[in-house]
Chains A and B, each alone.
Chain A
């Protein structure tokens, strides 16, 4: 965003950025461990007013994901670029913020008559919550399938949230990070409705909306964002999308194996996923086939038709390795040196 003083910025000015930071998440490596989630939470949202917010989330796919059924809640743009109406996730949709009864269970002389149990932030027993569908997936025995879907703000190139905020409180930094100015936000939540990924969260105490800030204070120190750096599965690549030496560039632009989630939402997201190569399926006689067990249609439903080509490239390159041949792509995905995943953002947070 470059805005001259004392002028009302245009949406174009608010959305403009010189460069674009991007994250790649390798779904062939993600084990659903939630390390990125706790890394983010402890840094930014371990607050009484923000327990329901998961700027970074991991859910089991297929499923209702996080926030619950966000794919059915609208927002984004249609193919002609028209803004689409959206709904607001509720507290329960947002994963709830359970409280627990340790005092009653442990210290109030109730012997074994009380058990430790969650209470919804809205009172009563939880109806649904964050990661509620953990490890459930779909399919039918012996061909069940699932994969993990890590999500955070896409820091879109056409951010619907920026477009939706009548207060002009949302803007892109020059590195492409989308931020909500907490001084300007009045909590009207048009951004929440407009974000097709529902990665903006309303804080009912401050009555302002909040979202992933891509750990910009770290970025400014050339330290990769917490979710990216703290991922023990080494699923993440991070850097500027126009940096030809960055792993994000190579996976997204050069090898084209990292693709966005729901590209049809029309916001040009900047989180990219390496789609999962699932285990071989069994046929009706319980014999192993050469087919992967996640149906193509399921993956296409998430990543669009581009997923087929990305998977074909991955499989072909892996086959080279199986045959003892070299594959630069596979070596990039391995990244023997973990730091190679983060382009210039390799400082350690000391």
Chain B
């Protein structure tokens, strides 16, 4: 995907209805259930799951203003699950994931040598998480706000719309966050959890391999 440079104040990007978004092409990505048998060693019980990952498409527009990158995501979900009203309920969510190295495998959320970084929003939380993972089951959730990640979300007419925004360059190296730079190409992958379908953890829809992400200067 091309990520256009749009000269606007970063706050404007957070509005999904802002006119500037017309300048960014829509990417439509098909989603599929994660190949959950892959993590049988981590949970043979979860690996038995069958009915998860039913959200089959996500739309994305991405833009930057030279300082910050903003990702606008939207997908269809007939049920809004933004609170745990009973103990058997789960929460809608979405995540975008980026590799640190070209060898990072999106299917496994990387591995020990090839970590991945993800931005994770849940419908019951005001703030997003910034996630670092060295392979499935190893992910660590960090408070997104403390790492400069902000989010805006809305639910309307059976669709979630979620906007992530972060500085192109993260603060400290020790924070282990991906960095973006104009003219650089990296990858992105998408995951969606439908709380109404008890999606959680690896029980989710995902986009498969890395979608190239190219920031225009």
A341 to chain B, nearest CB (A): 35
Q: Are B135 and A160 in contact (CB under 8 A)?
A: no
Closest residue of A by beta carbon distance from B88: A88
Q: Contact mask A197-221 → B, CB, 8 Å, 1/0?
A: 0000110100100000000000000
Q: Given the known inter-chain contacts A83-B44, A83-B48, A190-B201, please indicate yes or no for A166 contacting B39, CB distance below 8 A.
A: yes
Within the assembled complex, what's the spacing in Å between the Cα atoms of A84 and B44? 9
Closest residue of A by beta carbon distance from B91: A207
Q: Are A8 and B138 in contact (CB under 8 A)?
A: yes
B22 interface residue (CB < 8 Å to A): no
B9 interface residue (CB < 8 Å to A): no
Q: Are A85 and B138 in contact (CB under 8 A)?
A: no
Q: Size of chain B's interface in residues, with CB distance under 8 A?
A: 24
Among B85, B87, B136, the residue within 8 A (CB) of A166 is B136
A98 to chain B, nearest CB (A): 15
B84 interface residue (CB < 8 Å to A): yes
Among A93, A164, A189, A202, the residue within 8 A (CB) of B44 is A164
Q: Contact mask A64-107 → B, CB, 8 Å, 1/0?
A: 00000000000100000011111111110110000000000000
A194 interface residue (CB < 8 Å to B): yes
Q: Are B44 and A52 in contact (CB under 8 A)?
A: no
Q: Are A164 and B87 in contact (CB under 8 A)?
A: no
Q: Are B87 and A202 in contact (CB under 8 A)?
A: yes
A105 to chain B, nearest CB (A): 27
Q: Given the known inter-chain contacts A165-B43, A190-B201, please indicate yes or no for A52 contacting B85, CB distance below 8 A.
A: no
Q: Given the known inter-chain contacts A83-B48, A160-B45, A165-B43, please indicate yes or no for A91 contacting B86, CB distance below 8 A.
A: yes
A45 to chain B, nearest CB (A): 14
Q: Are A164 and B46 in contact (CB under 8 A)?
A: yes
Q: Contact mask A312-327 → B, CB, 8 Å, 1/0?
A: 0000000000000000
Residues on the A chain within 8 Å of B39, using CB? 166
Among A88, A89, A168, A194, the residue within 8 A (CB) of B45 is A194
Q: Are A85 and B45 in contact (CB under 8 A)?
A: yes
Within the assembled complex, what's the spacing in Å between the Cα atoms of A323 and B86? 57
Residues on the B chain within 8 Å of A87, using CB? 88
Within the assembled complex, what's the spacing in Å between the Cα atoms of A150 and B144? 44
Q: Are B137 and A8 in contact (CB under 8 A)?
A: yes
B169 interface residue (CB < 8 Å to A): no
Q: Are A166 and B88 in contact (CB under 8 A)?
A: no
Within the assembled complex, what's the spacing in Å between the Cα atoms of A188 and B49? 13
Within the assembled complex, what's the spacing in Å between the Cα atoms of A323 and B212? 86
Residues on the B chain within 8 Å of A168, using CB? 42, 137
A11 interface residue (CB < 8 Å to B): yes
B200 interface residue (CB < 8 Å to A): yes
B141 interface residue (CB < 8 Å to A): yes
Residues on the B chain within 8 Å of A125, using CB? none
Q: Are A163 and B43 in contact (CB under 8 A)?
A: yes
Residues on the B chain within 8 Å of A90, using CB? 86-88
Residues on the A chain within 8 Å of B85, using CB? 122
Among A52, A75, A189, A204, the residue within 8 A (CB) of B200 is A189
Q: Contact mask B169-210 → A, CB, 8 Å, 1/0?
A: 000000000000000000000000000000011100000000
Q: Given the known inter-chain contacts A8-B135, A186-B141, A190-B201, please indicate yes or no for A204 contacting B84, CB distance below 8 A.
A: yes
Report which residue of A82, A89, A160, A164 has the largest number of chain B beta carbons within 10 angstroms of its beta carbon: A164
Among A82, A122, A188, A193, the residue within 8 A (CB) of B86 is A122
Residues on the B chain within 8 Å of A164, using CB? 43-46
Residues on the A chain within 8 Å of B135, using CB? 8
Residues on the B chain within 8 Å of A11, using CB? 41
Closest residue of B by beta carbon distance from A88: B88
Closest residue of B by beta carbon distance from A193: B45
Q: Are B87 and A190 in contact (CB under 8 A)?
A: no
Closest residue of A by beta carbon distance from B201: A188
CB-contacts of B1-44 with A (<8 A) = 39, 41-44
Residues on the A chain within 8 Å of B202, using CB? 166
A115 interface residue (CB < 8 Å to B): no
Residues on the B chain within 8 Å of A201, using CB? 87
Residues on the B chain within 8 Å of A194, using CB? 43, 45
Residues on the A chain within 8 Å of B41, using CB? 11
A167 interface residue (CB < 8 Å to B): yes
Closest residue of B by beta carbon distance from A7: B112
Q: Are A166 and B201 in contact (CB under 8 A)?
A: yes
Q: Are A86 and B87 in contact (CB under 8 A)?
A: no
Residues on the A chain within 8 Å of B86, using CB? 90-91, 122
Between-chain CB contacts (< 8 Å), 5 pairs: A82-B44, A87-B88, A188-B200, A193-B45, A204-B87
Binding site for A on B (CB under 8 A): 39, 41-49, 84-88, 112, 135-138, 141, 200-202
Binding site for B on A (CB under 8 A): 8, 11, 52, 75, 82-91, 93-94, 122, 160, 163-168, 186, 188-190, 193-194, 201-202, 204, 207
Identify the 5 closest CB pairs spanning chains A and B, nearest first: A88-B88, A164-B45, A83-B44, A166-B43, A194-B45
